[in-house]
Amino acid sequence: MEGGNQSGVSEFLLLGLSENPEDQRVLFWVLLSMYLVTVVGNMLIILAIGFDSHLHTPMYFFLANLSFTDLFFVTNTIPKMLVNLQSQNKAISYVGCLTQLYFLVSLVALDNLILATMAYDRFVAICHPLHYATAMSPRLCMLLLILCWVLSVLYGLIHTLLMTKVTFCKSLKIHYIFCEMNVLLRLACSNTEVNHVVLMATGSFIFLIPCGFMIMSYVWIVRAILRIQSASSKYKAFSTCASHLAVVSLFYGTLCMVYLKPLHTYSMKDSVATVMYAVVTPMMNPFIYSLRNKDMHGALGKLFLRKASRQG
């Protein structure tokens, strides 16, 4: 990527959302707390699913991968934010910035594709329960996950390689907390029309198609639930989808505010939305999926008992 640096840029300055020392101290402790909660929460989800054989099902397989993606996602951005908030040196190298951008873009896409795969899992479980074991075989689950990774890696590579062709000749001060696509494009003095068109086109493919697929899946799921005679069975069927719907709503609500709009309208309000999907969503996912999930409660209980017995 370094060889593609067209403007001789060696580094950017990540100034954060505020240059006020008091604001930076508050932001540091808020982000540190959120990061620790995110890491612990997602690690517990992964460990609970890994150690409890009752959770070795397609739904929890994808949930563990979603937690791993969120864990990787926040580690790509928040530690550098914390260092910058505590340091007088706000610099990030050109290569470091593009590396951060690559993982940011790739992991957001991966999160989205895994959520779409989880919607398909719920569709099969509720609409075709008798065929669930064969339709969601371990081999198919692994193939779906590999497809999600391949598409995400390609998506990240496309945008990172295009960014290496951008010339930066304005101020290299980024009034933000990490290297984000729209923020970098606003610093460019070369023509970024290709970047913007590709961003909209590939974004529509990577995000809108899975979103449309999830909507259609839930239309069929709701129709299937309404045909169930027992009220308790209806509630049980819907409760298996409620957590996924909550995460999807949070993910798309913040994401659409940032990317599905013209670049020139990008503002500080969108910066707040970016922080929401970059920090808040990964932190909330473990809580949403475990809050009313009895299986997850049981697995977490076993995990803590196992740890306590080893220490005893």
Per-residue pLDDT at 310? 65
What gap in Å lies between CA 299 and CA 291, rounded to an integer? 13
Question: What secondary structure does DSSP assign to 226-287, as a single string?
Answer: HT---HHHHHHHHHHHHHHHHHHHHHHHHHHHHHSS-GGG--HHHHHHHHIIIIIHHHHHHH
The answer to whether 62 touches 49, Cβ cutoff 8 Å, is no
User: What DSSP state is assigned to residue 9?
Assistant: -
Per the structure, how many domains does the chain have? 1
- 92 HSE (CA, 13 A, CB side): 29
Contacts of residue 154, defined as CB under 8 A and 6 or more positions apart, other chains included, come to none
Buried b (16+ CB within 10 A) or exposed e, 49-69: beebeebebbbbbbbbbbbbb
- For position 218, which CATH number holds? 1.20.1070.10
Per-residue pLDDT at 137? 92
The answer to whether 119 touches 220, Cβ cutoff 8 Å, is no
Per-residue pLDDT at 262? 55
Paired tokens of 240: 């298996």
The answer to whether 31 touches 78, Cβ cutoff 8 Å, is yes
Residue with tokens 């009752």: 54
Each as own residue / partner, the long-range contacts of residues 17-21 (CB below 8 Å, 24 or more positions apart, any chain) are 17/175, 17/176, 17/177, 17/268, 17/271, 17/275
User: What residue numbers bound the domain in which 61 lies?
Assistant: 2-311
Q: How would you write the pLDDT of the chain (312 residues) with one tens digit per residue?
A: 444 455 556 788 887 776 777 877 888 888 899 899 999 989 988 988 888 888 888 988 999 999 999 999 999 988 888 888 887 778 888 888 899 999 999 999 999 999 999 999 999 988 888 888 888 999 999 999 999 999 999 999 999 999 988 888 766 777 777 888 888 888 888 888 888 888 888 888 888 899 899 999 999 998 888 888 877 777 777 877 888 888 888 888 777 766 655 555 555 555 666 677 678 888 888 888 776 677 776 777 777 777 666 665
> pLDDT for 152-175, tens place per residue?
999 999 999 999 888 887 667 777
Contacts of residue 207, defined as CB under 8 A and 6 or more positions apart, other chains included, come to 109, 112, 252, 255, 259, 260
SS3 91: strand
Residue with tokens 């298996």: 240
pTM reported for the whole predicted model? 0.86
- Of 290, 237, 215, nearest to 64 by C-alpha is 290
Per-residue pLDDT at 3? 43
- Residue 175 φ/ψ region, left for φ over 0, alpha for ψ in the -120 to 50 degree band, beta for the rest: beta
